């Protein structure tokens, strides 16, 4: 992902969660454009299911 250009964010963290891959991004300004990342995901055969805040598992609370 370091080879992706035209971006104002960096990959902060990533993890697999059930059947999903979660990618956390860090940016010093808002709004940010994630079209380059979405393009790579779609070209690899994936789909973007959620943008924005990740809904963390709160243990049923």
Lookup result for tokens 């697999």: 16
pLDDT in tens, 17-40: 888 888 888 888 778 778 888 888
By the 10 Å C-beta count (0-12 exposed, 13-18 middle, 19+ buried), 55 is classed as exposed
Q: What is the mean pLDDT of the chain?
A: 76
Give me the pLDDT at residue 36, please.
81
> CA nearest 25: which of 41, 43, 42?
41
Q: Tell me the pLDDT band of 12, cut-offs 50, 70 and 90.
A: confident
d(CA 32, CA 26): 10
Judge whether residue 53 has pLDDT over 80: no
Consecutive H or E run containing 17: strand 10-17
Percent of the chain whose predicted confidence (pLDDT) is above 90: 5
């Amino acid at each position: 992902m370091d080879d992706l250009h035209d971006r104002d964010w960096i990959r902060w963290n990533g993890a697999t969660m059930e059947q999903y891959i979660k990618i956390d991004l860090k940016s010093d300004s808002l709004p940010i454009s994630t079209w380059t990342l979405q393009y790579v995901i779609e070209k690899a055969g994936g789909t973007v299911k959620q943008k924005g805040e990740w809904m963390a598992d709160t243990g049923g609370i």
